[in-house]
């Protein structure tokens, strides 16, 4: 007995492609225990369907108007992909309102290895390891979102950089400092530590008096805290979850706010760290 | 390379007069046949021509490094000056081939060092190139001039330093999309101060910093420098300085083109570009602040090639830029250009020959407005368009039929609808009709990638009509073995076939075994093959190597598995070298 596909009658809703019906809908390979009954003749051999059919679903099977059911998925011969897809589908359906939008606009192919066929080099350059992450690398997420799906894995990272000490430079200061990111658990403590480092001693350690306080995480402050990420981009600190920030930061810079204005404009969907969510023009 | 060596004896009483011509005459005659296929055909005519041709062959392209052994290749063509060798199967680009598969460049470099001391050019694609290889290249070839590495891995900047230091006559160092380990080696500084012959320098894929002062001096003293592609470490203002030193540049890759806007930087750039009267090809990873794009306007008119496929410039600025590039022949962009951007391309770039549109957000929900309309517009208005790579989210048969009618001159048509098995979004039918129209209309089609919902019928059309098709890529398509059978029993010129996730089984493979020997290679993954059929195939066709790839995590050796075991990945190729001996654990040659 050999495994392989079986010829079967067309499933419901799947009209034969042509009157000659040379090809019929075939059950997807479901494990290799079925009898292989195959002829190259163009007859319409009807075989009893195998015990666990999994039809090739098309967009027609999905109701375009309603929200996509989490069960609807394009079948694939890779069972592992299905579980990855299930995770991906948590993000919810897209609005199918615009005319002509394909009903299956939902990224169901997500999780299939090597698909879409984009060179690994291009993927790494543009998307980092976004392939392995859920696709909400998008600008939809708001700042403080504790997205557990942002699993910023370091696997495959070419330069395995241990988080820890990073340089900090401040505009107007020639000599830089270094700060240990491992010693902090949140942006607040980091900002406080930096403030202590960079405010003049004469102002005192007590930061309650705002005349000398840098207020680094405050948008309206004179100074903005920025960082250079793995891709070499300069990003505003504070957009992404702390763990993700620590994983991608290379160094820090305290910029004068006038210099930092350009950062907000660079909101691109392809950056995993969604700087655009601040809503700057 | 001619495979069938016909040895027609020159016997018979009266020999034609040209038989007495010395070999040198034939060698000279063959030097006018640049195409390898023509030379191969000539070599197949008779022993005399075989001898003359192979001794005078200067350029050798080995499309599959395992098709022959390096020693055999070097022995057969002793006068080669330029060699190109390709390694891993194409789907390795998409991560379908696990690491350590093979395709080592070292045996080729070693054989070349022995047999081709006058070698001038070496090109490797999808191979493992080590620092030792690079050192050997630098040490072995007195007159080495051109090194091109595409999608390779295994080397570092230390290896590059060996090249830059040792190859006194180097003209081209072209590194495309390689994974290069940064050893902080001063490879750029290793060019001697007396070195001036560089014409092409492409280090765009390098991650690390380079010493800018050294680069500037290099660029200044190499008066013949035509191609310069920088990496992301070079900031914008430095780009301007370099351009002032090399105004005769023809091809420029700007690296990361992003900076906050400063009017004086803008002025610098604008002036620098205005001086580049010869600039024809432009590329770069632009996070460009839109204000800077207008600094380029001076060169737009002269541009023939524009690669913005790593640039995240959005639609409006992109369109303003491209609408000035009236002479573009080659355009690579992100789908951020959207349909209306492509409409502008269609009306502006009448000389366009090649278009590639890449997805900016392949796993996202598809907010970018790039649809079939863009492709329809471009193919309607660009009469010279012959090569397309198009990623989109939806397609219709009608659009494809229109495209086919408008553009029968396609030689390369690659359509990738991001979601597998997507049907015609209006009729919900399969896209059989559309792709059939393509192959029926485009008689010169050499390369085709299909996608969307497809039944066996489309393969019937392809098999029947695509006479010149050499490379076919199929994914998530077809219903039965018939699909594969149509391809293998048709497609007269097929050389490379790569298939993934299709319900194709053993029978068509075995029934068309002989076809596989006329092809360079076949890749099938996640199809419905079993081990038994592969064993049969290998037995039947001794001049094919049948490689099975197991899941690297699996410990069980293939020998122990029964015939019914499914085969996850199959790679079959013809070879005159017999089975290779450098297979990793997870590869078995049956």
The closest of B227, B537, B14, B292 to A262, measured between CA atoms, is: B292
Using CA atoms, how far apart are residues A205 and B532, in angstroms rounded to an integer? 77
Question: At B376, phi and psi to the nearest 5?
Answer: -60, -45
CB contact under 8 A, A117 and B416: yes
Distance CA A248, CA A228 (A): 8
Residue range A219-252, pLDDT digits in tens: 667 788 889 888 888 888 888 888 788 888 888 9
Burial bucket for residue B345 (CB in 10 Å: 0-12, 13-18, 19+):
buried
Cα gap B30→B43, rounded to integer Å:
10
Over residues B527-579, the pLDDT tens digits come to: 999 999 999 999 999 999 999 997 766 656 777 888 999 999 999 999 999 99
* Measured distance CA(B180)–CA(B160) in Å, rounded: 10
Of A28, A74, A130, nearest to B363 by CB-CB distance is A130
| Angle in degrees, CA A261, B259, B322, rounded to 5 | 110
Question: For domain A166-200+212-250, which architecture applies?
Answer: Roll (3.10)
Q: b/e string for A63-96 if b means 16 or more Cβ within 10 A?
A: eeeeebeeebbbbbbbeebeebbeebbebebbeb
Residues β-bridged to residue B358: B334
Are B179 and A121 in contact (CB < 8 Å)? Answer: yes
The enclosing H or E element of B111 equals helix B106-115
Helix (H) or strand (E) run with residue B471 in it: strand B471-475
Q: Which of B345, B282, B294, B336 is nearest to B314 (CA)?
A: B336
Residues 6 or more apart whose Cβ sits within 8 Å of residue A222: A214, A215, A256, A257
Alpha carbon separation from B345 to A179, B324, B333, B393 (Å, rounded)? 50, 10, 11, 20
Q: Does A200 touch chain B (CB under 8 A)?
A: no
Instruction: Compare B438 and A218 and report the one with higher pLDDT.
Output: B438
For the stretch B38-90, pLDDT in tens is 888 888 888 878 888 888 899 999 999 999 999 999 999 999 999 999 999 99
Of B179, B309, B364, the CB nearest to A135: B364
- Which residues of chain A are within 8 Å of residue B436 when distances are taken between CB atoms? none
**Cβ distance B530 to B563 under 8 Å?**
yes
Chain B closest CA to A235's CA: distance in Å? Answer: 12
Per DSSP, the residues of B373-419 read HHHHHHHHH-TT--EEEEEES---HHHHHHHHHH-TT-SEEEEEESS
pLDDT in tens, B121-167: 999 999 999 999 999 999 999 999 999 999 999 999 999 999 999 99
Give me the mean pLDDT over the B378-388 stretch.
97
For B232-280, write each residue's pLDDT tens digit.
888 888 999 999 999 999 999 987 777 777 888 889 989 999 999 999 9
Beta bridge partners of B330: B305, B354
Asked if A117 and B422 come within 8 Å (Cβ–Cβ), the reply is no
Q: Between vectors from CA B477 to CA B486 and to CA B541, what angle results, nearest 5°?
A: 45
Taking the CA of residue B385 and the nearest CA in chain A, the distance in Å comes to: 22
- Interface check for A97 against chain B (CB to CB < 8 A): the answer is no
HEC letters along B432-464: HHHHHHHHHHCCCCCEEECCCCCCHHHHHHHHH
Confidence of residue B507 (pLDDT cuts 50, 70, 90): very high
Mean pLDDT of the region B15-42? 78
B-chain CB neighbours of A2 within 8 Å are 506, 530, 532, 563-564
Q: H or E element: which one contains B529?
A: strand B521-530
List the Cα angle A137/A142/A146 in 5-degree steps: 80
d(CA B343, CA B319): 10
Rg of chain A (C-alpha set): 27
Residue B518 phi/psi, 5-degree rounding, is -90, -5
Would you call B359 an interface residue with chain A, using a CB distance cutoff of 8 Å?
yes
Of these ranges, A272-281, B183-192, B283-292, the one predicted with the greatest mean pLDDT is B183-192
* pLDDT at residue B537, rounded to an integer: 97
- Please tell me what DSSP assigns to residue A219: T
Whether the CB-CB separation of A80 and A112 falls below 8 Å is answered with no
| CB < 8 Å to B482, chain A | 22-23, 40
Give SS3 for A69: coil
- The mean pLDDT of B331-340, rounded to a whole number, is 94
**Does the pLDDT at position B30 exceed 70?**
yes
The predicted complex's ipTM stands at: 0.88
Residue B12 is given by DSSP the state S
Instruction: Please report residues of A whose CB lies closer than 8 A to that of B371.
Output: 100
Ordered DSSP codes for B280-321? -EEEEE----HHHHGGGHHHHTT-SEEE-TT----HHHHHHH
């Amino acid at each position: 007995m050999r495994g392989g596909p079986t010829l079967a009658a067309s499933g419901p809703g799947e009209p034969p492609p042509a009157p000659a019906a040379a090809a019929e809908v075939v059950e997807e390979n479901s494990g290799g225990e079925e009898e292989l009954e195959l002829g190259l003749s163009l007859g319409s051999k009807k075989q009893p369907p195998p015990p666990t059919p999994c039809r090739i679903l098309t967009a027609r099977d999905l109701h375009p108007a309603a929200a996509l059911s989490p069960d609807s998925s394009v079948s694939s011969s890779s069972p592992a992909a299905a579980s990855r897809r299930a995770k991906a589908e948590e993000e919810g359906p897209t609005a199918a309102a615009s005319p002509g939008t394909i009903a299956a606009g939902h990224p169901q192919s997500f999780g299939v290895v090597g698909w879409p066929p984009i060179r690994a080099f291009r993927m790494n350059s543009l998307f980092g390891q976004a392939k392995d992450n859920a696709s909400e690398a998008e600008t939809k997420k708001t700042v403080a979102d504790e997205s557990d799906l942002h699993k910023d894995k370091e696997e495959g990272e070419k330069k395995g950089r241990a988080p820890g000490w990073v340089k900090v430079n401040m505009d107007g200061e020639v000599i830089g400092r270094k700060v240990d990111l491992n010693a902090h658990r949140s942006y607040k403590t980091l900002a406080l530590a930096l403030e202590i480092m960079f405010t003049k001693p004469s102002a005192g350690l007590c930061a309650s008096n705002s005349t000398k306080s840098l207020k680094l995480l405050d948008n309206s402050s004179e100074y903005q805290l920025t960082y250079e990420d793995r891709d070499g981009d300069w990003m505003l600190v504070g957009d992404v979850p702390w763990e993700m920030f620590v994983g991608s930061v290379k160094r820090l810079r305290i910029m004068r706010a006038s210099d930092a204005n350009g950062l907000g404009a660079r909101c691109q969907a392809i950056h995993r760290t969604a700087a655009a969510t601040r809503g700057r023009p | 390379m001619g495979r069938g060596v016909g040895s027609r004896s020159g016997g018979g009483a009266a020999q034609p007069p040209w038989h007495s011509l010395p070999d040198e005459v034939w060698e000279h005659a063959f030097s006018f046949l640049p195409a390898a296929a023509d030379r191969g055909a000539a070599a197949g005519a008779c022993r005399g021509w075989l001898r003359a041709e192979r001794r005078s062959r200067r350029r050798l392209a080995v499309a599959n490094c395992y098709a022959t052994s390096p020693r055999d290749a070097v022995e057969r063509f002793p006068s080669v000056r330029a060699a190109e060798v390709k390694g891993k199967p194409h789907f390795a680009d998409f991560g379908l081939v696990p690491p350590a598969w093979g395709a080592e460049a070292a045996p080729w470099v070693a054989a070349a060092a022995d047999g081709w001391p006058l070698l001038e050019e070496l090109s490797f694609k999808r191979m493992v190139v080590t620092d030792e290889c690079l050192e050997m290249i630098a040490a072995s070839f007195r007159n080495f001039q051109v090194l091109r590495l595409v999608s390779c891995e295994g080397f570092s900047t230390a290896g590059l330093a060996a090249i830059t230091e040792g190859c006194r006559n180097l003209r081209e160092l072209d590194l495309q999309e390689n994974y290069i380990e940064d050893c902080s080696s001063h490879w750029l500084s290793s060019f001697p101060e007396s070195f001036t012959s560089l014409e092409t320098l492409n280090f765009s894929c390098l991650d690390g910093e380079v010493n800018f002062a050294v680069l500037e001096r290099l660029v200044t003293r190499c008066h013949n420098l035509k191609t310069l592609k920088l990496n992301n470490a070079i900031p914008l203002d430095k780009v301007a300085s370099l351009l002032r030193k090399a105004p005769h540049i023809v091809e420029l890759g700007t690296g990361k083109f992003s900076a906050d806007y400063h009017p004086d930087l803008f002025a610098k750039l604008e002036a620098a570009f205005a001086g580049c009267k010869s600039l024809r090809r432009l590329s770069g990873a632009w996070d460009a602040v839109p204000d800077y794009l207008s600094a380029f306007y001076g060169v737009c008119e002269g541009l023939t090639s524009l690669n913005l496929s790593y640039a995240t410039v959005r639609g409006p600025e992109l369109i303003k830029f491209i609408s000035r590039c009236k002479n573009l022949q080659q355009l690579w962009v992100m789908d951020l250009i959207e349909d209306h951007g492509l409409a502008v391309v269609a009306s502006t770039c009448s000389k366009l020959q090649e278009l590639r549109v890449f997805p900016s957000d392949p796993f996202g929900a598809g907010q970018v407005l790039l649809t079939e309309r863009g492709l329809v517009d471009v193919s309607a208005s660009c009469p010279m368009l012959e090569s397309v790579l198009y990623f989109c989210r939806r397609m219709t048969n009608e659009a494809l039929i229109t495209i086919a009618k408008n553009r029968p001159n396609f030689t390369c048509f690659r359509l990738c609808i991001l979601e597998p098995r997507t049907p015609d979004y209006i009729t919900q039918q399969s896209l059989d009709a559309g792709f059939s129209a393509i192959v029926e209309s485009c008689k010169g089609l050499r390369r085709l990638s299909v996608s969307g919902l497809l039944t066996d019928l489309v393969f019937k059309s392809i098999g029947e009509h695509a006479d010149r098709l050499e490379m076919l890529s199929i994914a998530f398509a077809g219903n039965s073995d018939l699909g594969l059978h149509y391809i293998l029993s048709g497609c007269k010129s097929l050389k490379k076939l790569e298939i993934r996730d299709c319900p194709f089984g053993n029978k068509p493979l075995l029934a068309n075994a002989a076809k596989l020997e006329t092809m360079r290679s076949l890749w099938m993954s996640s199809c419905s093959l079993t081990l038994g059929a592969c064993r049969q195939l290998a037995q039947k066709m001794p001049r094919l190597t049948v490689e099975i790839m197991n899941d690297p995590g699996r410990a069980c050796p293939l020998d122990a598995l029964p015939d019914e075991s499914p085969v996850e990945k199959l790679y079959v190729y013809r070879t005159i070298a017999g089975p290779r001996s450098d297979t990793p654990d997870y590869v078995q040659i049956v």
